[in-house]
Every structure is written in structure tokens, then in C-alpha cells.
Structure 1
Amino acid sequence: MMLDNPATKYRPFVAVDLPDRQWPSRRIETPPQWCAVDLRDGNQALIDPMDQERKQRLFDLLVKIGFKQIEVGFPSASQTDFDFVRSLIEEDKVPDDVRIQVLTQARPHLIDRTFEALKGAKNAIVHVYNATDPVFRRVVFNVDKPECIQIAVDATTLIREHMTAAPETHWTFQYSPELFSTTEMDFAVEIVDAVEAAFGATAESPMIVNLPATVECATPNNYADQVEWFCRHIRHRDHLIVSVHPHNDRGTGVAAAELAVMGGADRVEGCLFGNGERTGNVDLVTLAMNLYTQGVHPGLDFSNITPIMREVEYCNQLPVHPRHPYVGDLVFTAFSGSHQDAIKKGMAARREAENDFWEVPYLPIDPLDVGRSYEAVIRVNSQSGKGGISYLLEQEHGIELPRRLSIEFSQVVQEVADRLGKEITSQMIYQAFVDEYLDQHEPFALISHRMSSEPDSPTVSLEATIEEYGKRRTIQGQGNGPLAAFIKALAAEGHDVEIIDYHEHSRGQGADAEAIAYVEVRVGGEAVFGVGTDESITSASIKGVMSAINRKLSTEAPAPNVTADTLA
């Protein structure tokens, strides 16, 4: 049960005293170094850890994306990890420009086993850690500060000896003061200074110091303060590659990583889509794509993001949420009517824009940049409006509804959506459009027509054969165009039909192209829309008028002996 006063049980985080902090005014203009830890930190968090086949598939995927540093396991703690590291090395599966990273605790026998696993590697990072947080020192390991430092220094010395004994490998050393974010800042600096001195790092051959937020315990600005404070106070900043490893316990891991880079970090460790213990590691995909939206290429390739997601889901045997930033199945989808209308207008404006800058409402990036199409940008349910419906008809069926017709037809789709109570697919919308407008062939239908005109005369003569209530008849009229002539022919038969508005365009390309005409007419004093399609624009226009007449008649209850004079 939640406490009425949680302050009696939980202490507030004590912020770093950094009144002249610089990070808030900085921008990230170049990507950090990336290290993917999916195969180790991510793997240990899985319900069913990866087998060799899944590990290899995920490693190959990380290489393909462009990661140059990949933590591949904890070989001293797991035979599966040991065997996987050996297979990568012995079967020459690591590209020359990729460094594999392995983790070990600061214990001599585990360090020895780690180097046994790495024998023959071309490029390797040995990552050693020990806990520096006061609770861990006191409760878990029962060591004081000097003893904690000695553990780290002894491990570093042994690692350096192993590296010296294997000069055929290009070695990089990495040290993590585990639980950095809850360690006293002056002690974090003290222990890293001691480790750096023991290893003998230089500006030409730096070591990595990783500053993990092992458990996220404060707002992201505090983590940035800690990183900046550390970078200011460490003895030899130029001897270090400062790395961060944020977790997501408070749900702000991405923000913490970004602010930490602004605070001076050079490198970020994390996992694809944020897999990891508890609420996860920081999500490297979101971090990379956030940079991309600011005009900074992250150095990682997510041009075809959906297959990447599916492969990670297979390897982790965990689903990626449909609302996950940049990759989820629904992240580029709008159901809301107002959102759909804004997106539709934004896409139209982009086609007319004089520059290439992406400025489409509600879409932070162009879905095409990550291999998505525009097909799923707008989907329709009972929350949708005319903008989304019009967009789908235009994008997938080549139907460009005039505004007033769009408003009218949206009510048709709304009724279907309310009745079904679920999403309405593009095909369902198109079928509703066909049923409502294009399949209106009774009681009036066009059978054929013939036009003629005199040279240099604006007048067109039209003769049309139509079917009225199952009977064929021929009507004739003249006007300043085919449609006007047809309206005059109807008027000559006593039908009160007046054109209010008219739009037309071609639909399709090449031999499959056809004309589509949208006609708004006034029939018996009431405005009504009709739509017609045909290879001939004249036929399409006439069919559009007859569609409108038939729709008007379908709303009335005709008498059994109804005649053609119904329209009069």
C-alpha cells in the first residue's frame, strides 16, 4: 500500500553543487561513440537468454547497422558466452574495424578466464567493474573506500599484465565504477584517478571510463550535472574516453543520455529498442534517430527499420511496442480527424515546397527515411475525419475528393465506423465510395451518347440514349459544352437539374488511365453529389450527373407507379 508520506521511507536525491553548469547551453552536433550491449546486458535481462544461433544473428545485425563497438558477453561467468566469444574469434566473424567488448568482475580468476576467451582477437575492449556506491560498499561487499579502490587497482594491474603479454591484439581498457550515479562524486573521481594511474593511460592511448546510472534515481539534469562535474574534476580528462550507460528506471533514460553527452560524455552504451534489466537500458535507436531529426547523422543505418525490429524481436523473443518511437507499427499512424487533416495538408504543401526541409505536422521524420511507406500514415476509425478519408482515397485509389464532397462522404464512412466499432480499412472506404456514388445505375443509366458541333461555333449538340426505369429513350440538347448540352437535354424532357460545381481529373496512367468527374447538382431544389468514371471525360461527366439523380431518388420513397416525371 502506498504511504501517505513517502518521505518517511524514501530520501530525495541530493543534487550536485554545480551552479555554473555549462551543459544546458550546448548542442549535440556530432554523434557519440556507440557501444551496443544487447548481447551481454540485454541478454541477461531476457526471460530465455539467447542461444548461439540468436546471438550470431544479433551480432551480424549490429555490424550491419554500423556499430563499431559491441559488447558480446561475460565469458568468465557463462560457458555459453565463452563459447560464443571463441566462435567469433576462431571463425573470423568480427570485421577488422569492429571491437568486441567483454565484461568481467574485478576478480583475478575471472580476469584470467576473460583473457583465455579473447586469445587471438584482433581488437578487444576488456571492461572491468566494481561497485562504488556506499550502500553496496557497506551492505553487499563490506569494504571501506580504500579497500574498494584497491580492488579496482589490483584488477587494473592484472589486466594490464595480460594485455602486455598478448601484443598481437589491439587492446582497449574500460573501467566502470558501478552505480556511479549514486556514488559520492569526490569518491568516483578518486577511484577513477587511481585506476587511470595504475593502467597508465595517455592522451595518445586513452582508456574508457564508463559512468553507469545502474539504477536511474533522479531527473536527467542531475545525471548531466554529475557527468560535467566528473569531467571537470578528474585529473587527466584527456586520458579518458568518458562513456555513459543509463538505465531507464524512471522512464527518462533517453533524456539522461542526451543530457549526459551535453555534459561531456564521448560515448554511450545501450541496447536496440531499450531492452535490459527492469525497465531497460537506454534505447540506442531512439537516441540515434533523435539526432537524425536534428540534422545530425548518427553514423548508424536504420534505413530499413522494420526488418531490424523483427530480427530483434526474434532474437530477444520479446515484442517491440506498437507505439515505440520511430519503429512501432503505429508511430507514423494518425486516427484523429484533426491530425489527419493537418497531415494531408502538410503532405500537399510539401509537394509544392521550394526547399527539401521536412515540415509535415505530427510527423517528426519522413517515414520513407526509415523504410516505411505512407500507406499506414493515416488509418480510419470512429475518431477519424474527412482529412484522413480523403487522404486514403487519394493515395491508394487516385480519387481526389472536392472539399464539399469530402465532407459529405466522411459522414457515410463515419456511420460505417460507428456501426462496426473498429478500424475501417482503405479498401472498405473505397468500397463505401463505390457503393455510394459509382454504383448508382438505377433508375437512370447512360447507354450511349453522340456529339457534334459546327466549325468555329462554341455550341455543342448532344444526343444521348438513356435508360429510365428499365426503358430506353433518346434525348437531345445543345449547350456551350457536352455537360451543358446534356443538362439542356434533361430540361427539354422536364427534368429540373442544375449544375452547382464540377471537378474532374485523370485516374491512373497509360493505357489504364480513366477520367473521373465529381458533379454537384441541384435536383428538385436540393443539392446532391454524383461521381462518374469512364475512359471518356464526357461520359464520366454525364455518368456523374446521373449518379447524383439516382442518389436523390434513392432517398425518396417512390410510388408504385412512379414515372420519369418524378424529377420534374
Structure 2
Amino acid sequence: MSTRVEIFDTTLRDGEQSPGASMDDNQKIEMALQLERLGVDIIEAGFPIASEQEFQSVKAVSETVKRPRIAALARTIKVDIERAASAVADAERPVVHTFIATSPIHMEHKLKLTPDQVLEEAQGAVKYAKTLVERVEFSAEDSTRSEWDFLVKVSQAAIDAGANVINLPDTVGYTTPAEIQGMFEHVIGNVTGADDVIFSCHNHNDLGLAVANALAAVRGGARQVECTVNGIGERAGNTSLEEVVMALKTRSDVMPYETGINNLELANSSMILSQITGLVVPYNKPIVGRNAFAHEAGIHQHGMIANQTTYEIMTPESVGRARSELVLGKHSGRAGLAKRCEELGFNLEHDEVVQLYEKFIELADRKKEVFDDDLRILLMSMRDETFEIYSLQDLNTSGKKPAMALVKLKKGEDETPLTDTAIGDGPVDAACRAIERVVGVSGRLEEFTIRAATPGKDAQGEAHVVVNFEHRRYTGVGASTDIIEAAVLAYLNAMNKYLAISGSNS
């Protein structure tokens, strides 16, 4: 059996189901291009039948990204499969991923089908999908609560119909490492033609076992792991791509498997996704968290000085995080700026460099030193401008209670200033109320965090918010050397997302 484990990234599909993680077409393309740089084997771009917008997003990714396979999800319904195949028709290597539930609880209560009917549906869907695309993946939804012998039957039916990949998902994050390893060994050992297909795992993290279960599935014979950057996904999330990849790499002595991932792009991938979605990476997140390579205890620091391997099983450099950064200042030129951006994984066109340089000089005038994270924030804010409806032109606040704020906004290319004032419980509340008065939209702030993006007293504050507009949550990110302005920019960013996605920007 091959030791190569394929990485199937579902950040754009299952990951986007994380509350507040919605992405527009441009953001999906930006993330897909980063996944291509990362070296994933397959990108699951979406569920095309869900909406016209979802179909167009999958189509756009298929047209833009060239190296990885591009997959689209479909139920075992003919119209779903046709829509999925159409969405990925322009991909270099298209994949249709069709699924049906196989656990007794799902068959009885959700599908209201007998096991024989499920077998027939699965086989028919795979057979039809194979007439449209070369590669088809079949998933037995809720495999870990399914009867193992029935999994053998449905997997055999899919293989006989021409499936290239058989996915056995832990849909509700229920299983354990020993159990999932046994399940894969049982199914692989009892189907005919197992050597001609790839078996895949797709685990959710409800019990905190997604990564451990993925590694156990690989030991059981799985040669594809379905995962997301930062482990994002509905409920408690999905298998974390960076954790699986670095576990296999770091412990190759006991897990002799390899992936095609460029681990030097892991940190960039994590940061870009966080900036796009507004979902903050926990400081203690393995591999990519801010504290993943921090050592504060005196004994640890002493050991690190003597030999880094005393307390580090991998280096920050191995995941693309430098111990020291190239610090830029206001005297740095465009060429140096462009070169550093390229090293950070951003290849810019000439006009983008010009636009970035203007923002860079403005920031360098406000703070003495510009760090890598400052550049990433500037770059991502530029990408966010692709759907910016309202932009902040001026902000004045008073710090007294009740606080008063005056905001000046610009809508699109219209240079006419839109100004209003409001009173609130603090300057941020007052400013957000003033913005709502200008735009004519009201939201409820549900979450608000702010952190220093870089070292120093003049550091940029990076604010993250979650705002509820019409019973749907939208994330926003804003950055400034003024923390009140950062918070207001984040709120406006979330509002712009709501206006763009809902079409309420007239």
C-alpha cells in the first residue's frame, strides 16, 4: 500500500459552514490560490446546488486554480450531480463528490429509506457521475454510526459503479482512534478492488479527537485526509490541516507516511484565512497559534538557549514563521516592499504595489517600524476593498460617558461625504451607532476582541467583531494604530459584508 497521503481541503465548503465564516467569490479565489501554493491535492470548492452564488463561486475557483483537483459536492440526486459537474467543468481535473447517509438513525429518520434503497441510490449516483467526470468520490455520511457490514456493502456498490475514492466520515465527531482504525481495516479488508481506490477520512472535532482519529484512519488504510485550515467548520470544527500534516512530518518514525504539502506555507495559510473570515486563531492553537513556539518558563528558556530541541519538537521556520522579521520603515523603497511581500506569499501586480506602497508610507508615518504582520494586514485590507461599499473617511470621538462620535463615510466612488453623529456607552458604541444612522442598517455586536498585531507601543491594534444582521452573523476585521478606529473599521467591515451578501446596498 502507498505511503502517500492525499490532502483534501474542504475549507471553502465545510469550513465555510463555520458561523460567521462566509466568503465572497473574490475571497474564495484568494484562499484557493493560497491552498494551491500550500500544495493541497484536492480543493472542495462548494456545494453548487445550494444557490446560484455558490455555483458561480465553485465555477470561479475551477477557472482560476490549475494544479489541484477541484471537487464539488452533490447529493445522490441527478440534478445535484449535473449541477456539480457543470460547476467544475472548467477545472483541469474535476471531481464530483456525492454522498448519502448510511447510519440506521439517518436512514430511518432523515432519508426514510431502507438499506437496499440506499445501496441503489449510492450505486446509481456514482454510475451517473462517472458519465460526466473522470474522478468520483463517494461518501457514506455518518459512517462511524453505521453498521460495519453495511459499510462494506455500500462501499462495494460504489466501487463497482466506478468510484475512485471511498470516504468514511465521522460526521458528528463521535468515534475514537481505536474504533475508526478498526472500521477502516474492516471495510478495506472485506471489499473487492480495494487496491484500485483511495479510502478517505473526514472527521469532525466534537470530542476534540478529529486529528487523532485522522491519524488512526491513516494507520487503518486511509490514504486521503479531508481537513480544513485552522480546523474551521460547523460546530466544533473539522480536522485541522496543519496539525495532521505536521504530526505526520514530525513523527514519521512511527507514522511513515508523507504528504505533498509545502509546510513553509502553513503559517501564511492560517493567517490569510483568519484575515478573510475574521475568525481569530486561538493563541494556543498547535502549529499556527501565536504562542505555539513561545517559551516563558525560566527552565524552558534556559533549555532553549542551550539547545532548541530541548523544548521544541519542530521549529517555527518549518511552518513558515521566522524567528526574526525583516523590519521595514518609511525610508524603505517599493522594490524592497514588493520583495518582502513575495517572500510572505503575495505576488503583486505593479498597480497593486503602487497602491500598497501608499498605504505602507501612511502607516510608516504613524509607527516607527513596520513588521510582517503589518504588511499582511495591509494586504488583506486591500483585498477586502474589492467589495467595500462604505469606507471610513473621518472619525472623531469623545471619551466621556455618554460618549459622542462623529463619523464621515464615503459610498463607493461617490465623493459626497456622508456624515452623522450619535451618542453611546463609550466611543466605540457611539461611532457604530453613527455609522448605522448613515447607512440605515442596524446590527447587534455579539463578539469583540482586539489584540496588538505587532510589538511596540505604536503597534497596530487588530480588532475582530461578530455582528448579527437580520439573524445572520458576519465577521469583521479592522486594524489601526488607534484602537477605537480599529474597532470601528471592523464593525464597518462586517456591515459591508452584510450589505454585499444580502444585496441591501442600494
Question: Aligned letter for 1:102?
Answer: A
Alpha-carbon distance change, 427 to 29 in structure 1, aligned in 2, over 3 angstroms: farther
Aligned partner of 1:369 in structure 2 is 318
1:235 aligns with 2:192: yes
Provide, for residues 418-473 of structure 1, a one-character-per-residue CA deviation record: whole Å limited to 9, x for no partner. Answer: xxxxxxx9999xxxxxxxxxxxxxxxxxxxxxxxxxxxxxxxxxxxxxxxxxxxxx
TM alignment of 1:247-286, pairs within 5 A: 247-286=204-243
Secondary structure (helix, strand or coil) at the match of 2:61 reads: helix
1:44 aligns with 2:44: no
Provide, for residues 287-337 of structure 1, a one-character-per-residue CA deviation record: whole Å limited to 9, x for no partner. Answer: 111122235763211325443322010222211111111111111111112
Larger relative contact order (Cα-Cα within 8 Å, sequence gap ≥ 6): 2
For residues 220 and 115 of structure 1, the distance between their equivalents in structure 2, rounded to whole angstroms, comes to 34
TM alignment of 1:49-88, pairs within 5 A: 49-88=22-61
Secondary structure (helix, strand or coil) at the match of 2:131 reads: helix
Contact in 1 for aligned 2:100/2:140 (Cα 8 Å):
yes
For residues 248 and 311 of structure 1, the distance between their equivalents in structure 2, rounded to whole angstroms, comes to 22
Alpha-carbon distance change, 326 to 31 in structure 1, aligned in 2, over 3 angstroms: farther
Contact in 1 for aligned 2:170/2:203 (Cα 8 Å):
yes
Contact in 1 for aligned 2:88/2:95 (Cα 8 Å):
no
Contact in 2 for aligned 1:46/1:316 (Cα 8 Å):
no
Secondary structure (helix, strand or coil) at the match of 1:342 reads: helix
For residues 165 and 101 of structure 2, the distance between their equivalents in structure 1, rounded to whole angstroms, comes to 17
2:306 to 333, 345, 351: 345
Question: Aligned letter for 1:196?
Answer: I
Alpha-carbon distance change, 290 to 108 in structure 1, aligned in 2, over 3 angstroms: same
Contact in 2 for aligned 1:174/1:210 (Cα 8 Å):
yes
Contact in 2 for aligned 1:74/1:104 (Cα 8 Å):
yes
Alpha-carbon distance change, 329 to 121 in structure 1, aligned in 2, over 3 angstroms: closer
Secondary structure (helix, strand or coil) at the match of 2:44 reads: strand
For residues 172 and 184 of structure 2, the distance between their equivalents in structure 1, rounded to whole angstroms, comes to 15
Secondary structure (helix, strand or coil) at the match of 1:39 reads: coil
Alpha-carbon distance change, 83 to 244 in structure 1, aligned in 2, over 3 angstroms: same
Secondary structure (helix, strand or coil) at the match of 1:191 reads: helix
Provide, for residues 472-515 of structure 1, a one-character-per-residue CA deviation record: whole Å limited to 9, x for no partner. Answer: xxxxxxxxxxxxxxxxxxxxxxxxxxxxxxxxxxxxxxxxxxxx
Unaligned runs of 5+ in 1: 1-27, 164-170, 202-206, 348-359, 377-424, 429-568
Alpha-carbon distance change, 344 to 119 in structure 1, aligned in 2, over 3 angstroms: closer
Alpha-carbon distance change, 279 to 427 in structure 1, aligned in 2, over 3 angstroms: closer
Question: Aligned letter for 1:324?
Answer: K
Contact in 1 for aligned 2:229/2:269 (Cα 8 Å):
no
Unaligned runs of 5+ in 2: 326-453, 458-506
Aligned residues: percent identity?
A: 30
For residues 65 and 121 of structure 1, the distance between their equivalents in structure 2, rounded to whole angstroms, comes to 18
1:106 aligns with 2:79: no
For residues 259 and 334 of structure 1, the distance between their equivalents in structure 2, rounded to whole angstroms, comes to 30
1:332 aligns with 2:293: yes
1:136 to 106, 125, 139: 106
Secondary structure (helix, strand or coil) at the match of 1:174 reads: strand
Question: Aligned letter for 1:122?
Answer: E
Alpha-carbon distance change, 134 to 310 in structure 1, aligned in 2, over 3 angstroms: same
Give the drift of 1:99: 1.0
Give the drift of 1:234: 1.2
Give the drift of 1:368: 2.5
TM alignment of 1:471-550, pairs within 5 A: none
Provide, for residues 200-243 of structure 1, a one-character-per-residue CA deviation record: whole Å limited to 9, x for no partner. Answer: x6xxxxx1001101112132111111111111111221232111
For residues 110 and 372 of structure 1, the distance between their equivalents in structure 2, rounded to whole angstroms, comes to 42
Aligned partner of 1:119 in structure 2 is 89
1:94 to 59, 65, 75: 65
Provide, for residues 371-414 of structure 1, a one-character-per-residue CA deviation record: whole Å limited to 9, x for no partner. Answer: 334469xxxxxxxxxxxxxxxxxxxxxxxxxxxxxxxxxxxxxx
Secondary structure (helix, strand or coil) at the match of 1:173 reads: strand
Give the drift of 1:262: 0.7
For residues 221 and 249 of structure 1, the distance between their equivalents in structure 2, rounded to whole angstroms, comes to 17
Secondary structure (helix, strand or coil) at the match of 1:53 reads: helix
For residues 187 and 427 of structure 1, the distance between their equivalents in structure 2, rounded to whole angstroms, comes to 60
For residues 115 and 273 of structure 2, the distance between their equivalents in structure 1, rounded to whole angstroms, comes to 41
TM alignment of 1:155-166, pairs within 5 A: 155-163=125-133
1:195 to 140, 143, 158: 158
Contact in 2 for aligned 1:289/1:298 (Cα 8 Å):
no
Secondary structure (helix, strand or coil) at the match of 1:303 reads: helix
1:179 aligns with 2:142: yes
Aligned partner of 2:376 in structure 1 is none
Aligned partner of 1:225 in structure 2 is 182
Secondary structure (helix, strand or coil) at the match of 1:330 reads: coil
Give the drift of 1:138: 1.0
Contact in 1 for aligned 2:201/2:217 (Cα 8 Å):
yes
Aligned partner of 1:320 in structure 2 is 281
Give the drift of 1:79: 1.5
Aligned partner of 2:388 in structure 1 is none
Alpha-carbon distance change, 29 to 186 in structure 1, aligned in 2, over 3 angstroms: closer
For residues 30 and 108 of structure 1, the distance between their equivalents in structure 2, rounded to whole angstroms, comes to 35
Give the drift of 1:48: 4.3
Contact in 1 for aligned 2:81/2:96 (Cα 8 Å):
no
Secondary structure (helix, strand or coil) at the match of 2:48 reads: coil
For residues 306 and 192 of structure 1, the distance between their equivalents in structure 2, rounded to whole angstroms, comes to 37
TM alignment of 1:389-404, pairs within 5 A: none
**Structure-1-length-normalised TM-score:** 0.54
Give the drift of 1:154: 2.2
Secondary structure (helix, strand or coil) at the match of 2:234 reads: coil
Aligned partner of 2:171 in structure 1 is 214
Give the drift of 1:269: 0.7
Contact in 1 for aligned 2:171/2:203 (Cα 8 Å):
yes
Secondary structure (helix, strand or coil) at the match of 1:38 reads: coil
Give the drift of 1:121: 3.3
Contact in 1 for aligned 2:29/2:64 (Cα 8 Å):
no
Question: Aligned letter for 1:327?
Answer: V
Question: Aligned letter for 1:93?
Answer: T
Give the drift of 1:109: 1.8
Give the drift of 1:80: 1.7
Give the drift of 1:152: 1.2
For residues 68 and 75 of structure 1, the distance between their equivalents in structure 2, rounded to whole angstroms, comes to 20
Bigger radius of gyration, 1 or 2? Answer: 1
Provide, for residues 254-274 of structure 1, a one-character-per-residue CA deviation record: whole Å limited to 9, x for no partner. Answer: 111111101111111110111
Provide, for residues 523-565 of structure 1, a one-character-per-residue CA deviation record: whole Å limited to 9, x for no partner. Answer: xxxxxxxxxxxxxxxxxxxxxxxxxxxxxxxxxxxxxxxxxxx
TM alignment of 1:357-506, pairs within 5 A: 360-374=309-323
